[in-house]
Amino acid sequence: MSVLPGSFAALVAIGVAALLFVPFVAGEHRRHGELRVGIAAQRFAILLYACGLLSYVFLPFSSDTTTCFAPQWQPFAGLTDLTMLEQFACNIALFVPLGALAPSSLPTSVLAGSATSVAIELTQLTGIWFAFPCAYRVFDVNDVIANTIGALLGGLLAPLLRRLPTGASGRPAAEPRPVTAARRLLGMCCDALMLWWLGMVCDRAADIALRLAHITPTRVWEAVALWFAPSALLLATMLIGRGSSIGQHAVALRARAPNGRPARAAVLRRWAVGIGGLALAQGALEVLSGEPNAALGLLWCAAHAWGVTNTRDHRGITGLVAGLKMIDARPSRRGLNAARSM
């Protein structure tokens, strides 16, 4: 087996997880009231496994389109050879996670493993469904047998996997939770990912627009696309969200001023000291030197992480400067009872 497909699968899984992290966190807090860390780890394991499986099936692509391989239809043929026996054992181990992660019963795990293996072998037999003129890899019935055995073993181990802690507290989703440092840091991570994601989208859109207009991109254009425009969008969401960022909305938090709804000036101060200030500083460095400063970003994030951990009510540096505190966005039981009695 090549190391390249595994490395590629890990990079793809991390990239997809980064794109889906914010909606996943938001969905967890809406449906379950909190982020279930164990479930998040399981979901990432499934994503990583799926990317790895696809990578080992398709990669590396063959540059030789003239060499064809005959299928091997005889069960257990060649297993007296040590190398073939090792490959058979590796194919068993490869499908143990699929059987363990498959939902429902043991027959479902075996059926899922067998069907997936047959689909993989047919993909190889048909040259990625006729994208290549012939089979550029060997169709081997032993692989189907080994994969099915692996799925069976995984299905037998599935009850042990279900006993792993999920990280859920068991409290109703609508019940307010304390504002902890971990929850605030999770919201900050979501905001940082949103800045990165919006920067990638804006940069790609600007690149297409400049090409169509036959304009040569400059450092200013790069700074606008990567930093200034995304930070302005995040400011707009904070103003619309009454002072709460996308990250705070994802973890079911909202900003509150001493007199109620935060004023626009307080929201602007919070943005300027937080994610907006970081984006403006990095954008300025992009214009002046052509690239952002990683050390500045790390120090900025470390300072705000320290502030969230060590300030009263975990309001952080932005909360101190803006005069805002973070509270749970869900109404308390007392508030619900008061609303019902009106």
Residue 254's DSSP bridge partners are 327
Mean local confidence (pLDDT), 141-146: 91
Is residue 140 within 8 Å of residue 124, measured between CB atoms? no
pLDDT of residue 272: 95
Residue 138 pLDDT grade (very low, low, confident, very high; cuts 50, 70, 90) = confident
Write the DSSP assignment of 220-288 as a string of letters.
Answer: HHHHIIIIIHHHHHHHHHHHHTTT--HHHHHTTEEEEBTTBSPPHHHHHHHHHHTHHHHHHHHHHHHHH
| Count of all residues that appear for the chain in the document | 342
Mean local confidence (pLDDT), 156-174: 84
Mean local confidence (pLDDT), 302-331: 92
pLDDT of residue 332: 62
pLDDT of residue 275: 94
pLDDT > 70? residue 335: no
Summary mean pLDDT of the chain: 87
The per-residue pLDDT for range 37-85, each reduced to its tens digit, is: 989 998 998 899 888 888 877 776 666 666 777 778 888 887 778 888 8
Amino acid identity of residue 303, one-letter, is A
The Cα–Cα gap between 34 and 251 comes to 7
Query: Among 23-32, 101-110, 151-160, 315-324, which is the least confidently predicted range?
Result: 101-110
Q: Which residue has the higher pLDDT, 55 or 149?
A: 149
Q: Cα 163 to the chain's mean position, in Å?
A: 24
**What is the phi/psi pair of residue 187, to 5°?**
-65, -40
What's the whole-model pTM score? Answer: 0.81
Residue 337 pLDDT grade (very low, low, confident, very high; cuts 50, 70, 90) = very low
Residue 1 pLDDT grade (very low, low, confident, very high; cuts 50, 70, 90) = very low
The per-residue pLDDT for range 21-41, each reduced to its tens digit, is: 999 999 999 999 999 998 999
pLDDT of residue 221: 92
The per-residue pLDDT for range 81-124, each reduced to its tens digit, is: 888 888 889 889 989 988 888 777 888 889 988 999 998 888 88
Neighbours of 225 (CB within 10 A): 25
pLDDT of residue 342: 41
pLDDT of residue 61: 65
Mean local confidence (pLDDT), 282-291: 92
Mean local confidence (pLDDT), 190-211: 94
